[in-house]
Amino acid sequence: MDKQTDTDQQNSRFELKTVLETSRMLIESRSPDFVLDNLLLIIMGKLLVSSTAILFYDPESTGYSIIKKKGSVRLPEGPVDIDESKVNIQQPYVLYDEEPGLFPNLTDNMEGSLFFNLRTSNRHIGFLFIGRRPNGKKLQEHELEFVESLTIISASAIANSRMFDELKTTNRNLDQRIHELNTLFDLSKEFNLLTDREKISRIFKFALLGQLFVRSFFLLYKSEDSITPLASSNLKSAINDEISEAVFYAANDVTPVDTALAEKIPFLEENNISTLLDISIQNDKVAVIGVGKRANEKPFSESDFNFLKSLANLAINAIQKTYLIEERIEKERMEEELSIAKSIQIGLLPDPIPNVEGLDLSAVTKSSSEVGGDYFDIAQTPDGNHVFAIADVTGKGVPAALLMANLQSMLHVLLPVDITLAAASERINNLIFKNTPADKFITFFWGKYFHKKRVFSYVNAGHNPPLYLPADSSEFQELSEGGLLLGAIKATAPYEQDKIELKSGDIVVCYTDGVNESLNKDETEEYGEERLKECILANRKESAKTIQQSIVSDVYQFSNNKQYDDITLLIFKVD
């Protein structure tokens, strides 16, 4: 009895020493494989068993699989069926003979096998499988306690090593994110210095290839009127407009290219594109990236997609900046051209207004834009008399100014020619019709004032009829005799010419439709001819200048100082 007690004490001391040494070795280890290999080898060496294994629990799949085995263990590869209802993670071990239903697919000579629970204080890791001894002897109580101690130590070591691995992975991911942020920061500075879209696209391409190891990709950008490929690499076929539109509207956040999408857009499968990502700026979808699989075969993670979107956002912002710069340059160029055109247009108008014998004369034009389409002229003829003209060219801007310049040059060329106003009007019409687009035409009124006779001869080519107010009447006459507006069609009938005999106090008011068609502040009513007539009557005793100023003031008051069209007035009053 004393000899047996001494042997038991020696065994206990040996097992305790083994546990302590194993504990130090396993706890200091940072490798799960090292911990598991040593656990199995120690069990086999100390207990003289022929087979051991580790059944690991995967919380994501909530199943078990054999990840380590030593010796002649006959266990299946892959998942192991375990009856979850019979698992008691607080129980130190399970004897297969007592719970054969716990492991339904482990039936090959499992008698006498033990399954020790690998657990920490709050977590179940799996089972340590110990096969029966070759001699058939069962494990003694102190041996079971020895194994239980090892499993507790090993479970803690495994949990610590796994936590260490997770920490290393987290640190690696953090280092990767820092590297990506530095890359994005450097690229942001680079993009901000560039105004060339081709260079921006090239840098984006190299960054994508170098950072994520993507070999096949494309970047589509949506401008106001089109969807344009900005960059691509390793594509077997070109991206046409139809493909661009289909791909752009198929992408929604991160869109895997599945079978249905590949059938809908064969281009994606043909070029090994696996994922589409849309890029939005201020909730406006402006671009789509299509990427193939990575050269290192690693799947894209969520952080990879975030980096890809951030990279694309930088490139798109830089590209949009280039468009804005181009627009600004174009706007400045147009403003410069308009400024030149305006100065030319102003130069075409008579300045100062000439003195005309026997008449009190006033004229003004107010453009609603930088360059207007209204025109007036006062020119002396070779016989000493004067021609008055007023016109409204369709449209605004440089085209209208050019057409106005043509009209002015034609009028001055014809002044020395001994020809009637009607015949001259026909020539002007045919020249404009021949040399201008079909949508460009001119409403035109002109007349010649004979000083000695006080006769005003005129032709109206589709213009607002000037208002003639005799001094001894409150009834207006409209000077409407003439013909078609200039440039609409080639003249097929001669223009008609008429005249009026003037006397002291008579008033003639020539105007463009910017006067009578001005709208009120609600844009529901036009100023109209009746208001114009009332304003003239109210100021008939005043000078031509005062009448002109009163009309302009009345129109602005009616429209709440908002000008919808060019306003031009040419007024003369007989002395």
Contacts for 186-194: CB closer than 8 Å, 24+ residues apart: 187/311, 187/314, 188/314, 191/314, 191/315, 191/317, 191/318, 192/318, 194/318, 194/322
Average pLDDT over residues 410-422: 88
124 and 45 within one domain: yes
Q: Which of 115, 146, 165 is the last residue in one of the domains?
A: 165
Scored b (16 or more CB within 10 A) or e, 371-382 reads: bbbbbbbbbeee
Query: Is residue 353 domain-resident?
Result: yes
CB 47 within 8 A of CB 14: no
214 and 101 within one domain: no
Average pLDDT over residues 343-367: 86
The tokens of 66 are what?
A: 């054999």
Q: Which helix (H) or strand (E) holds 322?
A: helix 302-348
213 and 88 within one domain: no
433 and 548 within one domain: yes
Predicted confidence (pLDDT) per residue in 457-514, tens digit: 999 999 999 999 999 999 999 999 999 999 888 888 899 999 999 999 999 999 999 9
Give yes or no for residue 84 having a pLDDT over 70: no
- Cα Rg for the chain, rounded, in angstroms? 48
Distances (CA, A) of 484 to 1, 403, 444, 490, 493: 139, 17, 9, 10, 9
What is the total count of domains within the chain? 3
Predicted confidence (pLDDT) per residue in 267-280, tens digit: 999 998 999 999 88
Task: Please tell me the predicted confidence (pLDDT) of residue 21.
Answer: 61
8 and 78 within one domain: yes
Give yes or no for residue 184 having a pLDDT over 70: no
Confidence of residue 28 (pLDDT cuts 50, 70, 90): low
Q: Cα separation of 15 and 117, whole Å?
A: 20
User: What is the domain extent for residue 105?
Assistant: 2-165
CB 462 within 8 A of CB 486: yes
The SS3 of residue 447 is strand
Give the residue with greater pLDDT, 509 vs 419: 509
Task: Please tell me the predicted confidence (pLDDT) of residue 68.
Answer: 85
> Can you say how many angstroms the Cα of residue 299 is from the centroid of all Cα atoms in its chain?
28
Confidence of residue 51 (pLDDT cuts 50, 70, 90): confident
Query: Is residue 509 domain-resident?
Result: yes
> Can you say how many angstroms the Cα of residue 417 is from the centroid of all Cα atoms in its chain?
61
Q: Which of 165, 184, 212 is the last residue in one of the domains?
A: 165
Average pLDDT over residues 14-38: 65
Model-level pTM?
0.54
CATH number, position 292: 3.30.450.40
245 and 203 within one domain: yes
Q: Which stretch of 128-142, 169-183, 239-253, 318-332 has the lowest confidence by average pLDDT?
A: 169-183
Q: Which stretch of 58-62, 65-69, 371-375, 448-452 has the lowest confidence by average pLDDT?
A: 58-62
Distances (CA, A) of 106 to 151, 435, 522: 22, 99, 89
482 conformational bin, left if phi > 0, alpha if psi -120 to 50, beta if neither: left
Q: Which helix (H) or strand (E) holds 417?
A: none
Query: Is residue 330 domain-resident?
Result: no
Task: Please tell me the predicted confidence (pLDDT) of residue 154.
Answer: 80
Q: Which residues contact 71 (CB under 8 A, 6 or more apart)?
A: 44, 49, 50, 51, 52, 131
Ordered strands of the 507-511 beta sheet: 359-366, 567-574, 507-511, 467-469, 477-478
